[in-house]
Amino acid sequence: MGKLTVLNGGLFTTIQDGGREGYRKFGVPVSGIMDEQAYKLANEMVGNATNEPVLECTLKGGEYRFDEDAIAVLTGAPMNPQLNNEPVNLNAFFKVNRGDILKLGFAEKGCRTYVAIRGRWKVPKVMESCSACTMGNFGGLFGRALEKGDTISWEKLEGDFDTREILSNQMPYYSSKITVNFISGPEWNWLDEKTQNFFLNTSFKVHTQSNRMGIRLRSDESIKVPDKQITSSGVIPGIIQLPPSGQPIILMKDGQTIGGYLRIGKVLDIHLNRLAQIPPNGYVRFKKTFF
């Protein structure tokens, strides 16, 4: 049995897997990893099952002691990772000996790093998922971010596994300025042409209060909000909401299941990974896609 002890949980580190499906009708968010691409790569590189839990570290990773030998990999944002004060490469598995200490600093680019450890994690499932939903105080470890003294155990996997080499041109590039594609939402046409053009031609700044529920955007000039209201309606990750403030919100994995703000668009799922890595004070632009 493997074991990891948290010496410092960083700014916000949680246990996440692929999320919980089929419970939105009960008001339960999907939760799960924010950057699906980095998550899948992490488990693949250590030979884990596709939906095995990982640590999702946000902005600053923290410090962890391995209390048993292990095989691990780091993907996602570069956080100057070190094993016993020696640099560790991203996107390449490495062997860990009992007593080794893994440290992750602040994200140099992007904002989320994933730590996968080879094995079957011993984390209780809530509604068929190990993912922490901190807003609801359930899942993960006690429904919260990791703290000093927490421990995580896993059942070791025997045998060899297929290794994978990531070429330099396959490495993800994390930028603080991104453009994401979206399709129009149910209330898009409530905006007049001038307001639509303003939305499409504005670089929105990512607010520091953004989190796993939603990415809050800011611009010097607020979007003109139509003097209309909708009844609370279903929403999903990627929905672009327009609240009365005129400053958009993009719902993410821990976002609510219904909302009463105008739904002016839906970011394409393939671009949610990029949004997951946009840091505070980064910039987001929107490009409308037609099908």
pLDDT of residue 257: 95
Going by C-alpha positions, the residue among 20, 13, 16 that lies closest to residue 140 is: 16
pLDDT of residue 291: 64
Residues of the chain with pLDDT under 50: none
Torsion of CA 48, 52, 53, 57, to 10 degrees: 50
Q: Give dist(CA 55, CA 77) in Å, integer.
A: 13
148-171, pLDDT tens digit by residue? 999 999 999 988 887 777 766 677
CATH for the stretch 177-288: 2.40.100.10
Domain ranges (residues) in the chain: 2-170, 177-288
Task: Please state, in angstroms and rounded to a whole number, the distance separating the CA atoms of residues 271 and 207.
Answer: 19
Tokens found for residue 275: 């949004």
Instruction: Give the C-alpha separation, 41 to 45, whole Å.
Output: 6
d(CA 263, CA 241): 5
Greatest alpha-carbon pair distance for the chain in Å reads 63
Instruction: For 95, list phi and psi in degrees, rounded to 5.
Output: -90, 140
Q: What is the pLDDT of residue 134?
A: 96
- Of the chain, the percentage scoring pLDDT greater than 90 comes to 91
**pTM to 2 decimals?**
0.95
- Position 70 scores a pLDDT of 96
